[in-house]
């Protein structure tokens, strides 16, 4: 596997990044795929054994279930969290309130806290503004 420095962050990331939009397939994301936990575990096992250390998700993917499934796979496979670079995103709709979307300080803080719980970690390596708005 080849690795590159991500921008000026100092993080070494694999040149291949695992996208996880197809995990769970709840709601709008069903058309992307609907991998169950066994398939997610197998996919993450395969890519990490190949040297991929970069996993990308978003809070809106299946309303947070993608992040939950990544967390569970890390546990199921006994992967050291520090060996991964986890990227996620913020902006899309995560509820019914007027403040459950967008880039307000309130929404960003709520989503960081939610993502940390769903991913079962105390830090996010790369936090991005999501271009897609659900």
Single out the catalytic residue among 3, 23, 31, 61.
61
29 burial (CB, 10 Å; 0-12 / 13-18 / 19+) is: buried
Q: What DSSP string runs through 43-103?
A: HHHHHHHTT--EEE--TTGGGGHHHHHHHHHHHHTT--GGG-EEEEEE-S--SSSTTSSSS
Instruction: Verify whether residue 127 is a known catalytic residue.
Output: no
The crossing angle, in degrees rounded to 10, of helices 37-49 and 65-76 is: 60
**Tokens describing residue 97:** 């309130």
Q: Which residues are catalytic?
A: 61
């Amino acid at each position: 596997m080849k690795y590159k420095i991500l921008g000026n962050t100092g993080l070494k990331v694999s040149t291949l990044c695992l996208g996880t939009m197809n995990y769970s397939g709840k709601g709008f994301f069903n058309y992307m795929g609907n991998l169950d936990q066994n398939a997610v575990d197998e996919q993450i096992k395969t890519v990490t054994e190949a040297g991929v250390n970069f996993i990308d998700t978003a809070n809106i993917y299946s309303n947070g279930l993608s992040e939950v499934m990544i967390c569970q796979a890390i546990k199921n496979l006994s992967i050291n969290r520090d060996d991964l670079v986890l990227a996620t995103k913020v902006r899309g709709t995560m509820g019914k309130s007027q403040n459950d979307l967008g880039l307000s300080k309130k929404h960003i803080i709520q989503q960081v806290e939610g993502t940390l719980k769903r991913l079962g970690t105390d830090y996010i390596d790369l936090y991005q503004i999501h271009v897609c708005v659900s």
